[in-house]
Structure 1
Amino acid sequence: MMVRVCVVGAGIVGLSTAINIQRLIPAAQITIIANKFGNDTTSAGAGGLFRPNLGHIKGVPIDTLKRWSKISWQHFSSLALSSEASSSGNNVTNGFVLQDTEEPQFLNEVIFSYHKLSRDELQRLNSNQKHGYNITTVITEPKKYLPWLMRKYKEHGGQVVFRTLTSLEELCGQYDVVANCCGLNAKYLIGDESIYPIRGQLIRMRAPWIRGFYYIEHDGYSTYAVPHADYMILGGCRQEGNFSEEIDPALTEDILRRGKEKIPGLEGAKVIDEWAGLRPTRIPIRVEKESMKLGSRTLKVVHNYGHGANGISLSWATAVDAAQMVNELVDSSSHSKL
């Protein structure tokens, strides 16, 4: 009998989960249901710098976080070193992380290279920060990577439905397993009150002379410049609980002021456009399976959402875990029917 799997959500987590289910259960009929695709998703606005940030990931055991980082890194770095680097939007990049606190990271175990800067090197960068790191990692450009994922998904027979769900109960009886990658909508779809937005706002600029990235933490702010193929992203902000996706002009001015003050060579860069989005955040990130009682029926669900600012960095690894859980639920269903 054909196994029917539904993935709710078409951001980077949903698409990655769908592809990993295809790989693990080739015979499954998979349908993505979402009301936002491509550039309309939160994923589309991400800077895409691979740097899982311990300070922004709460409640996940360090061993799990290390494992996720290594699995995702293997995926993104392999793409960046392959013939699909351009089409998938993944490329090797070098840059600086500058901050007043010691980097509580394990990145030196994962990425291409990781070098702690001496005080003398920091002075040569005209940096006032106490700590600095020069790292070689990968940038994933979501405006290329999202369409690439969708192509891969459709090439293997994946179906897509544009639809706004009000409850997962609507899927009862239609699918054997549902992978719930709905981000912030978990608040409404399944009543998860622990999901909340961390609002981000950024500016896309034309600055082709800036080739490397900068990530600078200062005065309670993170100011960053991440070069993509056609523009540079300048950010940012972390506004917890703010649901507004409207551009705040005062914040744009503040980001520009901080950028010109902190990012070498930014003066003269031309603003192309601005973007604001809501990072779906949960403590901890939810990757688990559940048999949900919905009315008089039961729905087998695998949850995969709440990645916050680490949606791209951890997307592939949590998708690998979620796909494995879907497979386990499919197996248990088939055994129960024997």
Structure 2
Amino acid sequence: MSTPVNRQILLAARPTGTIKASDFKYVESAPPVPGPDQALVRNLYLSLDPAMRGWMREGDSYIEPVKLGDVMRGGTIGEVVASNSPAFAVGDKVFGMGGWQDYYLVHAKSGARVLPADVPFPLTSFLSVLGITGLTAYFGLLDVGKPKAGETVVVSTAAGAVGSIVCQIAKIQGCRVVGIAGSDEKCAWIKNELGVEAAINYKTQDVATELRTACPKKIDVYFDNVGGEILNTVLGMINVHARVVVCGAITQYNATQPTPGPSNYITLLTKRSRMEGFVVIDYMDRAMEGIMQLGQWLAEGRLRYREDIVDGLEHAPTAILRLFNGSNTGKLIVKIA
């Protein structure tokens, strides 16, 4: 029997502009040995998320940046392969921040969560629709956006992992939904499969013109994943008491210079509206609420999702670029084992 090896991908440099393969370093070591009340987890799947670009950057944020020389942070699903902890049994499937590596240690207070064994959904769904992705859409839209039946909801990166779930939850709430995406294929998917009323290709269409057509009663809720010019355009079309949910700003993550703020921000005053950012980790005490509701909708056939799975941990440093060039189709996941 061969000796197990713990492949690890470390953060070697803080990216300037677009992430490069040279910003990471590949190393191998022996798997860690679990001590008292610890368990050893072998990672099976790794989630790749836009937030990782922020974790690589020094500066004040909602979470400490990854230190140079440390294993790159990331959410994973793994299997317990050895345990000295009553909280984890060998064979348990676990969600945790296992990072870009094969093995890591957990304990009862590490935040790792044993996943239920009897759900009728693929294991990877706990990284997508039933994981942080789905919870981001659920709490961001319902708790921050507070949509009401009959209102118009606009979603950017509407074919993305979070955006596509937002679109469907808004439809479940009885809203008119307009999605903005980056290709004709993605627009066709959110319109034909997810049921949005209108889809706009921001790369080939004039967003302002298309929004005026698609939103004859203007915009009540905007779920923002991109920032930049699209945010500025939407702000010029909001209704009184509109809600702008700031989930991300992917157009700015790789910027090397400060980006201009939205010139239409004054409409937040004149329309007595609200723009609010949120981070899903603030809702972890309510995670089960979201998972149960998302699971119910999924079982009822009211939610659809796509996963884009890349085979091999070694490909993570190049696969993550697909989040920023728009070439991924659905939730981006790396299969580790």
TM-score normalised per structure 1: 0.21
RCO comparison, higher one (Cα < 8 Å, 6+): 1
Answer 1 or 2: which has greater helix percent: 1
TM-score normalised per structure 2: 0.21
